[in-house]
Amino acid sequence: MARTVKILIQTTIPRRTDDWSIESLSLMRQELAQIDEPGVRFEVVSRDRAADPTSADPVLSRLDESGFDELWLFALDQGEGLVSADCSGIVRFRQRGGGILSVRDHQDMGASLLTLGSVGAAHHFQSKNPEPDPERRAPDDTETPSISWPNYHSGRNGDFQVITVVEPLHELLRNPDSPSGRIEYLPAHVHEGAVAPPPGDASARTIARGCSQTTGRYFNLIVAIERSMDGHGNHLGRAVAESSFHHFADYNWDPARSCPSFVTEPAGSALKKHPRAAADIRRYVRNLAFWLAPARGEVG
């Protein structure tokens, strides 16, 4: 019998006009729905946060009681996206073996992730949990003065970046269809956030880095957190901390797609014109879906 893996794709903001929302992630959702692999199928549900940001979200706050196996959490808030009940539901979900993708962006965007234990500790923001190196607490992107650090400039929206794989090669970055056998490209973004393995967490490591197109400075793109057991005997699910939701946004995969009016930077088009780069990001999405799935018998 085929195994069904249920994925919840969720933002931390209510649906608003002229803003990012779950609708801006439609191409990624389509990619997940098209995965065809013997013995497993993926069922995807996507939603924005409940309309009242001061009250518990009815799904996140009870996520541990749901049939979901994975949470792909797109933190698009400025620190207010998760209330305590939401955080508790998500933490309990991971304690039951659920897999979590946590994604944010520049400066303090997505700072509500810091309430999620070791998953949140993998994210650095400006006003909370900043990068430990003081020299990195300065703007990197100079195209948009209104957006401050961390804001690593890996390229224009719509272009791709060449990533540096951190050895040993992690299975999330394998691509048997690539000549190199690995994922080499991800979508670029003009101001990415900062991620790093939480200090003292042996289950976490950086698996890919990007390079700033303005300063030449390397920065972390992806932190992978393996399954582990916490001090209470809970078998924690796998998790990934990602520097920018723009790696998955429709607008970055195809700039002909709409974006909010506050996005004013000139867009590129290299990703759409480069089949290997486009194939890499599709493969990465597929790898995430399989890797984050709980061991059999856990969660859903």
DSSP-assigned letters across all residues of 97-127: T-EEEEE--STTTTGGGGGSHHHHHTEE-SS
What token pair was written down for 76?
A: 């698009």
* pLDDT tens digits, one per residue of 209-228: 999 999 999 999 999 999 99
Percentage of the chain exceeding pLDDT 70: 98
Residue type, 85: A
What share of residues in the chain are helix, strand, coil (percent, to 5)? Answer: 25, 25, 55
What pLDDT shows up at residue 299? 53
Cα–Cα distance measured from residue 224 to residue 227, given in angstroms and rounded to the nearest whole number? 10
What token pair was written down for 202?
A: 């042996």
Of residues 10, 94, 4, the one with CA closest to residue 41? 4
Residue found by looking up tokens 């990619």 in the block: 31
* pLDDT tens digits, one per residue of 93-145: 999 999 999 999 999 999 999 999 999 999 999 999 999 999 999 999 988 99
What token pair was written down for 86?
A: 């939401």
Check: CATH 3.40.50.880 for 3-291?
Answer: yes
pLDDT at 172 over 70: yes
What token pair was written down for 39?
A: 């013995």
pLDDT at 1 over 80: no
Of residues 34, 37, 35, 44, the one with CA closest to residue 68? 44
Reported confidence tier of residue 297, pLDDT bands at 50, 70, 90: low
Peptide bond into 179 cis (omega under 30): no
- Domain boundaries along the sequence of the chain: 3-291
pLDDT at 2 over 90: no
3-state secondary structure of 216: coil
Of residues 141, 147, 72, the one with CA closest to residue 108? 147
Mean pLDDT of 37-59: 93
pLDDT at 69 over 80: yes
Residue 277, φ and ψ in degrees, nearest 5: -65, -45
